[in-house]
Structure 1
Amino acid sequence: MHIIEEAARFGSADGAADYRERLRSPGLSLGSYSIPAGAGDPQQPHTEDEVYICLQGRAT
């Protein structure tokens, strides 16, 4: 088992959108991406499969 010490820490100190990679292996990258309420998502489409989990509010 791999324990990710900072897994419960989200967001940046200045409140901007923030991505943090938490785990990387040859076939998988796991990260958390925090976006402030009401902010847009500046990411562009990419080729990797993704799973989204919305902890508060709603995602569209």
Structure 2
Amino acid sequence: LEHSNACRILLDLKANPNHTDNRGRTPSHCAALKGNIDCLKFLIEYNGDIWVKNKRGDYPIHEA
């Protein structure tokens, strides 16, 4: 199972696309860090916010 497929499945099951971890990172931060464009597209399609800053003040684009 590829990460983008897992991302789609989790989003279909109502996973929160804007959930943050203890560092303030969202799934968009992690997808950008890994260069997973397909997952980023899915997150945006499911209302994932790409303008959320993590605790260091970085947007997902800074992780790319």
Considering the TM-score relative to the shorter chain, is it more than 0.5?
no
TM-score normalized with structure 1 length: 0.28
Q: Answer with 1 or 2: which has the greater Rg.
A: 1
TM-score normalized with structure 2 length: 0.27
